[in-house]
Structure formats: structure tokens, C-alpha cells
Chain A
């Protein structure tokens, strides 16, 4: 009889294996398993032409017409179609609810009496737990409505015998029952988008029999809109495409591939989860390059310095090494030392409190119909803007075919009061491999700055006849003028009144992400960059320009600035913004035109 070697291995493995198992069970430090988000294809449909796409969907137009009709009524509420009421003998309840004052209390905006859109979303026998909760006994019928302006569900409980409303419950932020009509509309909207069709491998919006479609409620936490998710699964597939639909604005928001629905561990897509997923993956972890209008630029969302434009070339020549907005200093003079140093950045894993929800928007700049450049805007918001003490800022860059470019910041309110001062801190690193001379316009002439220095654009500041304040000249004689914004750029802005600092470029002075540079509430030149020019070193030709404009908000009628007002638009909540814009233009010159 022969015993092979593997037998001994088996015995020792058993011995060692058991021993090892025993050891690990007494170990206090354990590695937990937790879900890791697998890479999934997702995208937002923010800048597609929704109107054009949805013009092909008659149901959307019909629904819009229906809304317009409802808003003309004295009681602006869309009733539930009779065929959706089950059992049919509950139909009486709708008429009773629509006559009830408390149930209909949110039909007009108290201040302006503007009609607000409401819709009856459900009529059914009340469930036992609902009856328990309201502590009213009886055979009750529930009538539910949704208010699009307040994003609120109201439920009227009607006694079937007495045919009276016995209780009305209001639930702000709750998602209503999704009617059949809304489910059908959701599917039609979702499938109208060519991007969605492409994801599903279809060429039209018609869904073949080999696909399953489910429509369920979803949440739009940030817009506070009524939203649904259309979930399309090819039969037998382990993945589903979730398409989020905004039923308040009647458009698709975006899509995401998810594992097939698993009741034991459901994974959902909401507006917030989709936005975070798309922005983080596409704009925080990756660099993007744009080539247009003679420019080639790179950009990436940062941890806390907004969106950074870097390695920008004009006609193949390096122009801008980096431009970013590191902080917004917000102060309220009526309250000593009260304010914030707001950082803009990525929506996840960042030290920003005002974050990107949407991708950057790139638009052509036209003059008399002629395209002369492009603008690049990245929006950042506090989660529940425009509620009090929430902020919305934008990075704005403009690149022109003639070589000019602008680095700007936009403020869209609301802040904590109508007496707020905003001081955004820009860091601008012009390409200057060969060294650059900096001159300031002082007392009617260009004066070279030999050392690090700063300057404030006072009310009586003097500019060169062309409106320039600084001149940066390269060794080859070319360079850029810095032209402060004095309201001349056609954006209704009220000037920069900026502090400008010129510092020697040093490692660790802002080329990496800066969580926060300075305090909120200083009104003088101590905005943060002063630390890089004290004590003043001799300028070497490798410079950083720090630019800190100042603007004050206003809510005064006709003079609103850095402000936002809530409006009623088509019966739902909308916003009228009054932007405040600051930031200089950089104008190129060569030896010939200097």
C-alpha cells in the first residue's frame, strides 16, 4: 500500500487550517465587508435641447396644455382621472376633497395670489396604519394631492358614511403616489432622448417586447421637484438602465446603469446620487481638454478651488499655466466677525461646502451674430440654495478668438442677509517660462514693480487710456494687459474694486489645492494672499497674480445684485437670479502694438 504526498498535505492543511480559523475568531481587529460602488455608466442630460427632443412627444405638449388650463381655474388642481380611481364608488371623495378649504389651502401663493399647480394623485380606502396614525375611527377614504410649488403632499381623510373630511395631513418633501398618467408620461419622456435609446441599443423610443419597463417614484432632493425613475431591463440581463425624469419641469435628468433590482438589497438612483456619481467620475477624477476658437485648454474640478483651467494655449502658444478661484470671503458688517470663507469644489470627498451639481457649460460668445469666442461656466451651490445662508457661485472663463481671455466669478445669492460683502480670491498664473516684467499704471505712466507688491482699485484709481491697470511683458516683447472690470463688459456688473497682489511663484503657495486661504471678514488688503508678499521679495519674472475683487449685494427693487428671488413659474417654484460678476480681462499685445 502506498500513501501519496498530497495525503500528508491534506492532514497538515486540516490541522493548520483549523488552527488558523481558531486564531482569527479571537482577533479583535477585523476587516469588514462593505459595498464598493462599482464603475457604472452614468450621465446627466443637463445641456441637451430638451424642448427640441420633447417636441416629438405629443403627450408632453398635451400635459403642458392641461397644466395651462388648470392654472387658469380658480381652484388650480388637476383631478384624478375617473379611470384611475379604484374602486369606482370612491369617486365621490374627490368632489368632497376639492371643496374642502383645508385640503386646498396651498392653491394660491399668499403674497401674490399666483396660482400654484396641484394634482390629485390617489384616491383609495385608507389603510389601517394611516387610520391609526390620525386617531380617527371609521370607514375612511384617502384623497391625496401634490403641490408642485411647495413639494408637499396633502392627504384628506373622508368618512364614507358621513361624507365629510375628518382630517387633513400635510407632508412636506414626501413623494406622492405616481398616477398611471404620470407613469406613462415618464416613460414617454425618458424614451424620447437619443442618448437613452443609444444606451439601450435602440434607434427609436419604442420599447421592444424583449425589454421590461418599471416606473417608480424617485427623489429629486436638490431641485425639490416631483421625480420618477424609468427602469428598463433587457429580459435576462443583470443590469437595468435607470432614467430619472423630472415631472415638474417635464424633462429627463440623466441615466445610470445599475444592477438589476434586488428586493433583498435595493439600490436606487436619485437626483443627488446621480449628480454626485457623474460629476465625481467625469470631472473630479479626470482632466478634460477643449479645443475651439484657436484655444486649447485643460480643466478639472478641484477639491476646494472651484474648477481649475490649466495649460491653456492660444494659437499653440502657452498663455495661462493656471487660473482658479480659491475662496469666497463673505462678511456681514452689521454683525462683527460674522461670515464665511466658502470653498467651491467637488461634490464628494472635498473640503468644499459649495459644490458642483452639474457639468460645466460651454457656450459660444457672439458679436453681431458672429462667433468670436466661447465662455466656460461651472456652477456651484449649497445643497438647498436659495434658502437663507445658502450660496451659489460660478467660475466664469471667456476665451476670445483674438487672444483675449477673462477670469471671472459670478455670485447668484442668497447668503444670510441683504448686507453681504463678497470677496472672491483668484489665483492667476500666466505662462512665463522666459520671465515676465510687471508694470502698473501709476500717475499716468507704466511703472515697473521690482518687488512683490499689492494695489487697490480705489474709486479714483487711474487706468491707462485703454483702461488697463497692469502690463505683463515677456522677454520676446509679447504679453498681456490686465483690464479690471469697471462694468464695461456688458454683464451689468458694478466693477471689481479689487486688491491685486503680485507675488514670486513659490512651491506650496497655491499651485496645489488650498482648502481655505484667508478669514471671512477682513475689509482691508489682508485677504490671504498678503502672506505671500511679506516680506516683499524682488520679482524674478516668475510671478503669480492674486486678484481679490469686492462686491456688495442688494435686494432693493430695481437694483438687485448678487441676489435671488423665488417666483411662481408654470405653477411651480422658480428663481429669478440677479448675478454679480467680477473679474478682469487679459488683453494680449506684442511689441508691435504695445
Chain B
């Protein structure tokens, strides 16, 4: 007991080798003031940023609905004698490539030779000028083209129907036979005249290195890039809480969403929305296409996707419909049924 007292006492009376007390007090005060000043500046900036974001949100809230409503059909089918309405056929029945078919029984079919020369085409989207953007995908076998071929976007001119390469996309890793897929999903955003494109190039069993690109159509510039997410179908929709990109996960039957800022950039990380398999009548499907209809309905085309090649015949496709409930700012499941049934 006594020794402890002595030790304590010694400690108090001998502050040897320390800096002067005034200096020790001054340093944290100065640093504290600097920090406070910096924090205040930062807080101001953040307040401004939040204000801007709130205003942007308000603007967006006024326009709940799909982001590709301005997209229109190309002119060239009518020039070629087709009578609207017509649809873009990418089912690959009777050969590869794209066809434009009049939407009536016995309707005329338009297929330019060059449209089938690029191979099987998968996703597509239209822009406000009627330009078609599409991408080749592997189908049945890799005999004619290696996996590296499939990470590019093709463009079909709205006036002439001429198909030309638009741009190639950078893969996170070299594509291999284990995953021959590149570009698999595409959607248009009227607000920025831009497209979102998903690519699975380089993803493997244990490495999810898929990318989602946000591309300016006027400049072909990649504006934003989301890393490490394998997405199939894509769709942009403005909800009450802001504009979102919806992503169909290629590795599970789940749908995710990610917030978009005014410039179309990604904010935060993809958030889980719902699972197709968990819906009444749902299957272990992957969301292959996500489209938004006029009355705020999300239409998802679900297929079996396992990073393997597609079989020759028509795969089983299931349609899932969800309604946007603005009051709850949430999607509610309506029904699931096989396509065409």
C-alpha cells in the first residue's frame, strides 16, 4: 500500500522531459480549430449537395415512370414497304440475326443480309431517333466465333437500316469458353440520350466480374461503370424515391436496383428488390429482359441462364408482371405465366 502511494506521488511531482504545458494546450486547439473549420466547410458543401439532390429528387418525382418512353421505331422498315406496327424479332428461328416483322398474320418480313452476318443477336434497345442498338450473343456452339467476339454493340441506322459496329467494351477479364457471354442486356434512357449495357465478359464460377456500362450515345463515351455485378436484363424507371436502374441478376433469380443521379451515374451499391423464384408460380428463372410498360408495370422475361450456351430450340420463358404502387413506393407482384400462354 505504501509503495503504491509513493509511486503515485512521484508521478505527480516529476513531469520531466515533457513539452511546456502551454504548447501542449495550443497544438490540439489549433488542430481542433482546423478540423472544425474543415468540417464546417464540408458540412456546407454537403448541405448544398443534399439540397441539390432533394431538388433533383423532386424533379424526378414529378416524372414517375419508364425512362425510355421517347424511344421510337426506325423509319427504314416503312421505306422497305412494311406496314406498322411491326416488331423486332431476335428469336433466331430459321437462322441467325435480326428480322423486322409486320405485327399481323402473314405479315411481311424484312431481313438484310448484313443483319445475319454478325451471328446471333441478343439484346436490343431503340433510341429517340429510331436507331436500334443490339449485340451478338453466342448460341448453340462456338464454332464460328470465339468468346471474345461477343463484347460489342452494333448499331442499325434508323433511316437506312445499315448495321455497323458501334463500339467494343472492355472486359474485366479475358473471356473464356467457360463463359462465352459478353454483352447481354441493354436499355435506353431518354434523359441523357444514353444506354446502359450489361456485360458478363470474363466472369467465372468464383469470380463475379460483370460490368454495367453507362454510355453516351452521341460521343460513345463510357460515362459510368458499375463493377463486379453480373446483370442480364436492365431497365430504368423513375420511382417516387428517385430514378433507378433495375438489374436482373445472372447468378440468381433475384432483381436488384441501383440509384441513379442526375447524370445517370450509379449511387451506392445494387440493392435487393425481390426474387422471381419466390413469387407464386415463379421458377428458378433469371431476369433476361426487364421492360416497363405504359401503366407503370414492370414486365420481366425469365429464362434459365447458367452461363452455358443456349439450346437450339425455344427456351422456356416465363413472364412476370409487377405493378408499381406509388403510395408505398414499391413493386407488387401481379402474376407469372409462360410466355405466349
Contacts of B270 in A (CB 8 A): 32-34
Asked if A2 contacts B18 (CB within 8 A), the reply is yes
Contacts of A389 in B (CB 8 A): 311-314
Asked if A221 contacts B311 (CB within 8 A), the reply is no
Contacts of A33 in B (CB 8 A): 269-270
Q: In the complex, A383 Cα to B266 Cα: how many Å? A: 36
Complex partner residue of B309 from A221, A273, A352, CB under 8 angstroms: A352
- A353-386 to B contact mask, C-beta < 8 Å, 1/0: 1110000000000000000000000000011100
Contacts of B189 in A (CB 8 A): none
Asked if A173 contacts B141 (CB within 8 A), the reply is no
Asked if B315 contacts A383 (CB within 8 A), the reply is yes
Asked if B208 contacts A34 (CB within 8 A), the reply is yes
Asked if B254 contacts A174 (CB within 8 A), the reply is no
In the complex, residue of chain A having the shortest beta-carbon distance to the beta carbon of B204 = A349
Q: In the complex, A265 Cα to B284 Cα: how many Å? A: 14
Contacts of A384 in B (CB 8 A): 311, 313, 315-316
Q: Is the interface of A mostly helix, strand, loop or mixed?
A: loop
Q: A129-B334, A340-B141, A351-B177 are in contact. List 18 more A-B contacts (CB 8 A).
A: A2-B24, A14-B35, A15-B35, A30-B266, A35-B252, A171-B341, A173-B338, A268-B275, A272-B283, A303-B178, A343-B141, A348-B308, A349-B179, A350-B308, A351-B180, A383-B316, A389-B314, A515-B143
Among A265, A350, A351, A383, find the residue whose CB has the most chain B CB atoms closer than 10 A.
A351
Q: Is A387 in contact with chain B by the CB < 8 A criterion? A: yes
Q: Is A179 in contact with chain B by the CB < 8 A criterion? A: no
Q: In the complex, A447 Cα to B311 Cα: how many Å? A: 44
Known: A341-B141, A348-B205, A349-B205. A32 touches B269 (CB 8 A): yes
Among B140, B258, B275, B341, find the residue whose CB has the most chain A CB atoms closer than 10 A.
B140
Chain A nearest Cβ from B244, distance in angstroms? 14
Q: How many residues of A contact B (CB 8 A)?
A: 70
Q: In the complex, A320 Cα to B214 Cα: how many Å? A: 52
Chain B nearest Cβ from A301, distance in angstroms? 12
In the complex, residue of chain B having the shortest beta-carbon distance to the beta carbon of A267 = B275
Among A30, A273, A304, A519, find the residue whose CB has the most chain B CB atoms closer than 10 A.
A30
Mark B residues whose CB is within 8 Å of A. Answer: 15, 18, 21, 24-25, 27-28, 31-32, 35, 38-39, 42, 138, 140-143, 147, 177-180, 204-205, 208, 223-230, 249, 251-254, 256, 258, 265-266, 269-270, 272, 275, 277-278, 280-284, 304, 306-316, 318, 334-338, 341
Contacts of A350 in B (CB 8 A): 177-178, 307-309
In the complex, residue of chain B having the shortest beta-carbon distance to the beta carbon of A280 = B205
Asked if A31 contacts B138 (CB within 8 A), the reply is no
Q: For the complex of A and B, list the 10 residue pairs with the smallest distance between their C-beta atoms, beginning with the closest.
A: A389-B313, A382-B311, A516-B143, A32-B229, A515-B142, A348-B306, A270-B284, A353-B309, A266-B278, A516-B141
Asked if B251 contacts A34 (CB within 8 A), the reply is yes
Asked if B341 contacts A343 (CB within 8 A), the reply is no
Known: A34-B228, A35-B252, A519-B143. A348 touches B284 (CB 8 A): no
Q: In the complex, A528 Cα to B27 Cα: how many Å? A: 80
Contacts of B336 in A (CB 8 A): 174
- A27-40 to B contact mask, C-beta < 8 Å, 1/0: 01111111111000
Asked if B307 contacts A3 (CB within 8 A), the reply is no
Q: In the complex, A128 Cα to B284 Cα: how many Å? A: 28
Chain A nearest Cβ from B313, distance in angstroms? 4
Asked if B229 contacts A172 (CB within 8 A), the reply is no
- A381-424 to B contact mask, C-beta < 8 Å, 1/0: 01110011111000000000000000000000000100000000
Asked if B177 contacts A268 (CB within 8 A), the reply is no
Among B143, B224, B249, B311, find the residue whose CB has the most chain A CB atoms closer than 10 A.
B311
In the complex, residue of chain B having the shortest beta-carbon distance to the beta carbon of A26 = B265
Q: In the complex, A22 Cα to B43 Cα: how many Å? A: 12
Complex partner residue of B316 from A29, A221, A388, CB under 8 angstroms: A221
Asked if A30 contacts B308 (CB within 8 A), the reply is no
Contacts of B147 in A (CB 8 A): 351
Contacts of A342 in B (CB 8 A): 140-141, 312
Within 8 A of B (CB), among A112-129: 129
Q: In the complex, A174 Cα to B21 Cα: how many Å? A: 80
In the complex, residue of chain B having the shortest beta-carbon distance to the beta carbon of A268 = B277
Q: In the complex, A30 Cα to B226 Cα: how many Å? A: 5
Q: In the complex, A268 Cα to B284 Cα: how many Å? A: 8
Q: Is A11 in contact with chain B by the CB < 8 A criterion? A: yes
Contacts of A349 in B (CB 8 A): 178-179, 204-205, 306-308
Chain A nearest Cβ from B221, distance in angstroms? 12
- A177-195 to B contact mask, C-beta < 8 Å, 1/0: 0000000000000000000
Asked if B230 contacts A34 (CB within 8 A), the reply is yes
Contacts of B304 in A (CB 8 A): 221, 272, 383
Contacts of B256 in A (CB 8 A): 34
Asked if A32 contacts B141 (CB within 8 A), the reply is no
Q: Is A347 in contact with chain B by the CB < 8 A criterion? A: yes
Within 8 A of B (CB), among A1-52: 1-3, 7-8, 11, 14-15, 18, 22, 28-37
Q: List 5 A-B contacts (CB under 8 A).
A: A28-B223, A35-B251, A342-B140, A350-B178, A383-B316
Contacts of A515 in B (CB 8 A): 141-143, 177, 180
Known: A268-B275, A383-B316. A1 touches B308 (CB 8 A): no
- A52-76 to B contact mask, C-beta < 8 Å, 1/0: 0000000000000000000000000
In the complex, residue of chain A having the shortest beta-carbon distance to the beta carbon of B335 = A133
Asked if A173 contacts B341 (CB within 8 A), the reply is yes
Contacts of A37 in B (CB 8 A): 251-252
Q: In the complex, A515 Cα to B178 Cα: how many Å? A: 9
Q: In the complex, A485 Cα to B125 Cα: how many Å? A: 53
Q: In the complex, A251 Cα to B147 Cα: how many Å? A: 41
Complex partner residue of B308 from A11, A34, A352, CB under 8 angstroms: A352
Chain B nearest Cβ from A159, distance in angstroms? 23
Complex partner residue of A1 from B25, B249, B311, B341, CB under 8 angstroms: B25
Known: A3-B28, A273-B284. A382 touches B142 (CB 8 A): no
Q: In the complex, A34 Cα to B309 Cα: how many Å? A: 23
Contacts of A35 in B (CB 8 A): 249, 251-252, 254
Complex partner residue of A347 from B227, B280, B308, CB under 8 angstroms: B308
Chain B nearest Cβ from A498, distance in angstroms? 21
Asked if A390 contacts B313 (CB within 8 A), the reply is yes
